[in-house]
Amino acid sequence: MPQFYLPQPWSPKKPINMPAELAHHLRVRRIQVGETVAIFDGAGMVAKATILEYRNKSGLLSLSAIGLDRHREAPYAITLAQALAAGDKMDWIVEKAVETGAQSIIPLQCERSLLKLMRPSDAERAQKRHLHWQAIVQAACEQCDRTVFPTLEPIQNFEAFIARNQTTGLKLLLSPNAPVELVDVLVTTPQQNCFLLIGPEGGHSPSEEAQAIAAGYLLVSLGKRILRTETAGIVAIATVHAIWH
């Protein structure tokens, strides 16, 4: 049985109103009054929720065994800075980034991105996409049993991201032509926060690679084969965990 998201505030002393979305999910799962399910708040708190009653589109819950559980989070933070991908590829990327353990996801509009969402006329469309991806984050956490929502930042352009991203950590740009492989870098580097820059379908432009290098990024490859944009970041996250865990 998967866990379910229930936003705060919580209280063990009195019944909690069940949000309509949660009530719908529980009904779809055929969870009956009197049964208990696992819930989480997206910030690491977990509890057991017993169904007291269903009402129209909501209901009542009682909570017990409230506590903090972040054991599925790595001791280092992986940020996936992913170039916007066309079609439903971004949906898949966000879902799999959550499942594989990214703690932050940053959608980037790059020079060669086929999907464009940074023009003033695209503001409403970009907001809808962001809300859609946030729902995917929640659903993925419910499925993979993570109790902490990864941060999903608003869409931003590549240059703005590079200019403001002054944080410390291992900064890597994935490039099929890089002379160094990701694995070789990871095995000689201690655990630390890691930033993974993934280009769009056509890859990062030479100008973007130059900007990244100037900002402290190292160009690395994933081996001899060229992976699709929706594959590269997920493979990179899994590789980081495989080497560092």
Using CA atoms, how far apart are residues 191 and 222, in angstroms rounded to an integer? Answer: 19
Read off the tokens for 197: 């820059």
Q: Which residues contact 187 (CB under 8 A, 6 or more apart)?
A: 243
What pLDDT does residue 189 have?
Answer: 97
Using CA atoms, how far apart are residues 45 and 67, in angstroms rounded to an integer? Answer: 6
Q: What is the pLDDT of residues 105-114, one digit of tens each?
A: 999 999 988 7
Question: Domains in the chain, start-ordered, CATH in brackets?
Answer: 4-68 (2.40.240.20), 78-244 (3.40.1280.10)
- Residue in this structure with the two tokens 């997920």, named with its chain if needed: 234
What pLDDT does residue 245 have?
Answer: 84
Answer yes or no: are the C-beta atoms of 159 and 108 closer than 8 Å: no
Read off the tokens for 151: 């941060």
Answer yes or no: are the C-beta atoms of 79 and 193 closer than 8 Å: yes
In this prediction, residues 24-29 reach a mean pLDDT of 92
Read off the tokens for 36: 């208990």
Question: Global pTM?
Answer: 0.93
Q: What is the pLDDT of residues 135-154, one digit of tens each?
A: 999 999 999 999 999 999 99
H-only helix segments in the chain: 20-28, 89-100, 123-144, 158-164, 182-186, 206-214, 229-244
What pLDDT does residue 122 have?
Answer: 79
Helix (H) or strand (E) holding 172: strand 170-174
* The pLDDT of residue 204 is above 90: yes
216: left (phi over 0), alpha (psi -120 to 50) or beta: left
